[in-house]
């Protein structure tokens, strides 16, 4: 049976980008369906009635939602070029830090970038703490996955272009090289991997988008 | 690795800890249980889970594993020869189990937390409605995942049974305290029967705390919060 793989995504969603990376790294052909979240398509609403969010992977007509669930699904369905380590402890560790990235790291970094003045100073404390935890995970490693990219690299990969865009929009350097040498090095080599490099959203478009979001937050003060 | 070097840091009322206890029992793993007294946090807990400082923490050898559903998968993988796999072998069925477990933890159970804190009747009514709607979704999930069998996992207890089932004590406690039935046989008959089966299962029944005991814990926590609020 011919495989039919569709990815419902938006042009900028970092959660959807992880899925693009996984599919490309595994050499899986797929069709992109671009969504406008202001006007959700019947396909999206039908495929993800519970959350009505992107990304959704539709494999031979069957939808899978929630990016970390999708990554595990891809890993189990297409077993070549594994993204997860074989060792159960290392696997658990990857899963733990991927969850940490979504539940703690990303929200704390986001808060720094939408805040102003004193609130931003306060928001820096947990963000820097969380970044330090992640920095430590890179000890003795090239990628979070070791010698090769793994699931955790994809989960944290939003840092690779998103953080520099946010830094440019706010003028605040969050990941300073002297404080986070391993993370800084990782951002460079991750961003340079061909499948990652060719997938990014246009930088200028991202900058405009986040500038607008930040201005909107500042205006609500 | 010897199973005698397995430790579980836990607290008996925690549904997240109960998940791990159920799985360790299902897989016949010997372990040392270390009850953590609330609200203090032991040095071992802080060292083993510096990120969240929460239970459960499984310590295998000297390696800590945190976050209940990650621990459940870890145990399933390490002791894979002890009984059936907790996750379905079909990748799509497996994704569904993971999806619904994430829904329960990220969306559904937090509603119960809000319900406990809610003061006004209107807020409580809205939350009860949301919780009930969520259970209708889970009823549909049950029918799809169980495929006519006893559990979400099919013939035997699986990952999603454990993810939802661990909250049954708290759901019952909530029903008793509020006088509102959440698991209603007219709305979610499949889940009601599943809940009875799950709670009376040999492996589960000695692990899940009695709702009455959970009510006592809740009253104690509420009293403490009140005391802290009035003393400031």
Q: Indicate which of B91, B103, B138 best probes the interface with A, i.e. most A CBs within 10 Å of its own CB.
A: B91
- The 10s digit of each residue's pLDDT in B7-53 is 999 999 999 999 999 999 999 999 999 999 877 789 999 999 999 99
pLDDT along chain A (221 residues), means of 10: 89 95 97 95 95 97 97 97 96 98 95 91 96 97 95 95 89 94 96 93 92 89 62
Q: In what order do the strands lie in the sheet with A56-59?
A: A31-34, A5-9, A56-59, A62-65
User: Tell me, what's the pLDDT at B4?
Assistant: 61
Q: Does B103 touch chain A (CB under 8 A)?
A: yes
What is the mean pLDDT of the segment spanning B193-213? 95
User: Tell me, what's the pLDDT at A221?
Assistant: 62
Among B residues 71-90, those touching chain A with beta carbons less than 8 Å apart: 71, 73-74, 77-78
3-state SS class at B35: strand
User: Tell me, what's the pLDDT at B37?
Assistant: 83
Name the DSSP letter for residue A27. Answer: T
What is the mean pLDDT of the segment spanning B79-95? 96
User: Tell me, what's the pLDDT at B179?
Assistant: 87
Position B142 confidence tier, pLDDT thresholds 50, 70, 90: very high
**Residue in B51, B77, B78 closest to A133 by CB:** B51
Q: What is the pTM of this model?
A: 0.95
Q: What are phi and psi of B152, to 5 degrees?
A: -55, -40
Note whether A66 contacts B77, CB cutoff 8 Å: no
Q: In what order do the strands lie in the sheet with B57-60?
A: B32-35, B6-10, B57-60, B63-66
Q: What is the ipTM of this complex?
A: 0.94
Interface of chain A against chain B, CB under 8 Å?
Answer: 50, 59, 62, 64-66, 68-70, 72-73, 76-77, 88-89, 91-92, 95-96, 99-100, 104, 133
User: Tell me, what's the pLDDT at B231?
Assistant: 66
3-state SS class at A40: coil
Q: Are A52 and A40 in contact (CB under 8 A)?
A: yes
């Amino acid at each position: 049976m011919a495989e039919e793989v569709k990815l419902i995504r938006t042009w900028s969603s970092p959660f959807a980008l992880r899925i693009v990376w996984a599919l490309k790294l595994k050499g899986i052909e797929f069709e992109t369906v671009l969504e406008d979240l202001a006007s959700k398509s019947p396909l999206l609403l039908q495929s993800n009635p519970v959350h009505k969010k992107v990304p959704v992977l539709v494999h031979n007509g069957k939808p899978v939602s929630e990016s970390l669930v999708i990554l595990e699904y891809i890993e189990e369905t297409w077993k070549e070029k594994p993204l997860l380590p074989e060792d159960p402890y290392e696997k658990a560790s990857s899963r733990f830090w991927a969850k940490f990235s979504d539940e703690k790291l990303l929200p704390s970094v986001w808060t720094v970038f939408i805040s102003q003045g004193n609130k931003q100073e306060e928001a820096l404390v947990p963000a820097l703490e969380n970044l330090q935890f992640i920095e430590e995970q890179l000890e003795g490693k090239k990628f979070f996955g070791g010698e090769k990219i793994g699931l955790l690299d994809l989960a944290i990969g939003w840092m690779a272009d998103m953080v520099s865009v946010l830094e440019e929009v706010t003028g605040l350097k969050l990941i300073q090289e002297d404080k986070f040498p391993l993370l800084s090095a990782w951002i460079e080599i991750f961003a340079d991997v061909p499948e990652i490099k060719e997938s990014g959203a246009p930088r200028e478009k991202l900058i405009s988008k986040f500038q607008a979001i930040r201005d909107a937050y500042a205006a609500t003060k | 690795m010897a199973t005698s070097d397995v430790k579980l840091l836990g607290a008996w009322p925690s549904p997240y800890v109960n998940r791990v206890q159920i799985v360790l029992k299902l897989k016949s793993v010997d372990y040392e249980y270390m009850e953590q007294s609330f609200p203090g946090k032991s040095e071992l807990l802080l060292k083993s889970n510096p990120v969240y400082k929460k239970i459960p923490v499984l310590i295998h050898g000297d390696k800590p594993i945190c976050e209940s559903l990650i621990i459940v998968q870890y145990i399933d993988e390490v002791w894979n020869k002890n009984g059936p796999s907790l996750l379905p072998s079909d990748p799509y069925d497996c994704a569904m189990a993971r999806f619904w477990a994430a829904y329960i933890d990220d969306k559904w159970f937090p509603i119960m937390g809000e319900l406990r804190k809610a003061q006004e009747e209107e807020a409580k009514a809205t939350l009860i409605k949301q919780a009930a709607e969520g259970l209708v979704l889970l009823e549909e999930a049950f029918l799809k995942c169980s495929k006519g069998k006893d559990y979400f996992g099919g013939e035997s207890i699986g990952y999603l049974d454990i993810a939802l089932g661990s909250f049954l004590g708290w759901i019952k406690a909530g029903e008793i305290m509020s006088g509102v039935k959440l698991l209603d046989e007219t709305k979610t008959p499949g889940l009601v029967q599943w809940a009875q089966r799950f709670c009376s299962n040999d492996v589960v029944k000695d692990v899940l705390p009695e709702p009455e005991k959970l009510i006592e814990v809740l009253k104690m926590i509420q009293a403490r919060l009140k005391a802290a609020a009035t003393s400031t």
